Amino acid sequence: MKMPRPSEDAKAAFARVVPDEPAITIKPMFGQMSAFVNGNMFCGIFGEDFFVRLPEEEIAKVKKSGGRDFEPMAGHKMGGYVMVPGDWRTKPPTVLIKRALEETRKMPAKKPKKK
């Protein structure tokens, strides 16, 4: 399966919607762009689409409003993440991003892998 590639416009829009604070890092992940706090991913883009990490009950609400499972490979759902419906560039999902950051911040920090 060929991975979708985000456009330069999508990458720039992503950098604009992610909160600007020292604890957050933006870095490439499998050719995409993702945002991390304490080493844990809380949101990202997959091709031209936007996803967030949320608790399961909140994922269900997003799916009821048009969101869908985040499946980087068909049939392989990435648990804890949901694709955000709508045009995230013209109407950034600020509330969902803040919620994802808040929940992910509670997770234990990941230690960098030894090289």
Dihedral-angle region of residue 47 (phi above 0 means left; psi in -120 to 50 means alpha; beta otherwise)? left
Q: Using one digit for the tens of pLDDT, what is the confidence trace for 5-45?
A: 999 999 999 999 999 999 999 999 878 999 999 999 999 99
In a domain, 115, yes or no: no
Please count the structural domains in the chain: 1
In a domain, 28, yes or no: yes
Q: Which two tokens stand for residue 112?
A: 């960098």
C-alpha closest to that of 103 among 69, 29, 52, 44? 52
Distance CA 16, CA 71 (A): 24
Its pTM stands at 0.92
In a domain, 110, yes or no: no
In a domain, 3, yes or no: no
In a domain, 111, yes or no: no
Query: What is the span of the domain harbouring residue 33?
Result: 8-105
The domain that contains 81 carries what CATH number? 3.30.1460
In a domain, 2, yes or no: no
